[in-house]
A = this chain, B = another copy of it.
Amino acid sequence: MILPPGLTEKDFSAALEQFTAVVGKEWVFRTDEDVNLYRDAYSPFWNEEEDRVPAAAVAPDGVEQIQQIVRIANKYQIPLWTVSTGKNLGYGAASPALSGSVILDLKRMNRILEVNDKTYYAVVEPGVSYFDLYRYIQEHKLNVWIDPADPGWGSPLGNALERGGGRTPMRDHFGAVCGLEVVLANGEVLRTGMGALPESAIWHQYKYGFGPYVDGIFSQSNFGIVTRMGLFLMPAPEAYRDGRVSVQKHDDLIPFMEKYAYLLNSDILRGNMMLESPLLSYKVSQGRAVFDMPGDPPVEELERIGKEKNLPYWSALFRFWGAPKIIDAQWEYTKEKFAEIPGATFSDGRSYKFPNDIKIEEIEADTLAALGIPNLGVFGLLQGADGHLGFSPIIPMTGEAIFKALKVYGEMYTELGLSPSNQFAALPWSYYPRALVFLFGISTYKDVEKNKKNREIFKKMIKVSAENGWGEYRTHVAFMDDVAAAYSFNDYVLRRFNETLKDAIDPNGILSPGKSGIWPKRLRKDKE
């Protein structure tokens, strides 16, 4: 059994006994068998010493139990790594950044405290899943939609705090957060925003409160344990339709992205766009990469093939939610705007009126998510590896930036001799209104040598991205220090600022040490 750093077995046993007194013995996990469930099945450190291994897990059911656990952890200086529910695959699962941490597992706190379909928000605990919330809304016949993450077993609270994305107009999950309850490192309960009014009527309807707006510092952080969250929801639309726009030439991507950014920021296109390239997919089918790599056919040749095989260079499915007459007008206008690009083609897609038209079993995962229906379809994407690490750099929302990224990552793939097929979502998505995100999956294996190599690739991707001004929005626990180190402006002043906050509000460093590269004083190593 691994121990928390610096703790004797005796003290740890005493602490676990005290945890047991708080939550009952069925909710403290200390056997290898139980604890291994919290390790990362996709770990890049399979069978290596650096694999992150928890010392135990404790699953409280309520704020008061958490307060007591935090006080015990302070007494013994035990690091608590908080998880909500779901799997967090690709980002480290429930495994901590620091081996020997005790997992604070909040899955039992799974109460849906409110769903309001007059002003469109929900209030949830950490252990509520997208499935739970969806079912609750269905059962109560409420006039709201959720925006599920992929996959649907995830926690709306956990995903929002990790700043995950979805498919609908509400896909900026942290952007939809309104009002938190947080257990601080000293065991006190903080309510943010309007929740600080004792009789608040607007805790989960108005975000900012009075004075500093602090909610953001509890996202991707180790500054507190969030036990309750307000989340804005979307009114159930009357109808849905989608349609595809394709353009033929390589350089058409420049005006394509300009028109997209215009329409998106005018609230005419309102959801996530997954950029596609039927022509580059053809190139992939010929054993090449989506990226630009040496030996690729020149653009003119590709365009010729595209013409011959009727494969457009760029394409995207656009989704519309709302009243039929409005979404029809939006799609008409979208076509008009893109028709300014010579050769642009259009095709109508699905069209649903709710609640009658929709047959869930006939709809693929992407569209289910866009219809607010949580699912597990994303797992169909995983091939030829034992797992993956999510690598998700943000780039500008322009065609020029996409071209540059295809070139930069192509050079990197060439230099590293990577298999061109090692690609997950090699063209970017639009989780955000003015930037794009790539969602690469770097493979992991039950093979030490392969993992070693892929870890180096991951670090190289961080470095090369940073050199081009692109940063990751989120990362795997094993790479949090590396990603944080890329944010190095002015001698790492942001990290030092975060450390100052951390030391002030968690002086014993008990909450999730190492999260997002933030270490408490006693565990801080010298980093260049």
Contacts and interface: CB of A to CB of B under 8 A. Distances in A.
Interface in A158-198: 163, 169, 174, 178, 184, 188-192, 194-198
Most chain-B CB neighbours within 10 Å: which of A169, A483, A494?
A494
Contacts of A302: none
A125 B169 CA distance: 31
A219 B434 CA distance: 22
A527 interface: no
A268 B326 contact: yes
Given A237-B266, A265-B120, A268-B323, A516 B212 contact: yes
Given A120-B434, A396-B201, A489-B197, A213 B209 contact: no
A469 B204 CA distance: 12
A486 interface: yes
A220 interface: yes
Nearest to A116: B434
B322 A469 contact: no
Contact of A471 (B210, B396, B472): B210
Contacts of A419: none
A50 interface: no
B212 A221 contact: yes
A206 B432 contact: yes
A278 interface: no
A474 to B, nearest CB: 7
Contacts of A332: 325
A488 B202 contact: no
Q: Among the interface residues A184, A237, A322, A326, which one has the most CB atoms of the partner chain B within 10 A?
A: A326
Contact of A197 (B261, B398, B471, B501): B471
A468 B199 CA distance: 7
Contacts of A212: 216-221, 223, 498, 501, 516, 518
A209 B221 CA distance: 12
A434 B206 contact: yes
B497 A214 contact: yes
A262 B238 CA distance: 11
A169 B200 CA distance: 27
A220 B208 CA distance: 10
B434 A194 contact: no
A504 interface: yes
A473 B209 CA distance: 6
B267 A270 contact: yes
Contacts of A105: none
Given A235-B262, A468-B201, A488 B208 contact: no
Interface of A: 118-121, 143, 163, 169, 174, 178, 184, 188-192, 194-202, 205-221, 223, 232, 234-235, 237, 258, 261-262, 265-268, 270, 321-323, 325-326, 328-330, 332-333, 394-398, 401, 432-435, 466-475, 483-484, 486-490, 493-495, 497-498, 500-501, 503-505, 516-518
17 contacts: A119-B398, A120-B434, A184-B493, A191-B489, A196-B471, A196-B489, A197-B471, A211-B487, A211-B495, A212-B221, A213-B217, A232-B434, A235-B262, A266-B322, A267-B270, A325-B332, A504-B505
Given A201-B468, A216-B216, A234-B266, 11 more contacts: A169-B267, A184-B493, A196-B493, A201-B470, A202-B470, A212-B219, A212-B516, A267-B322, A323-B329, A326-B329, A329-B329
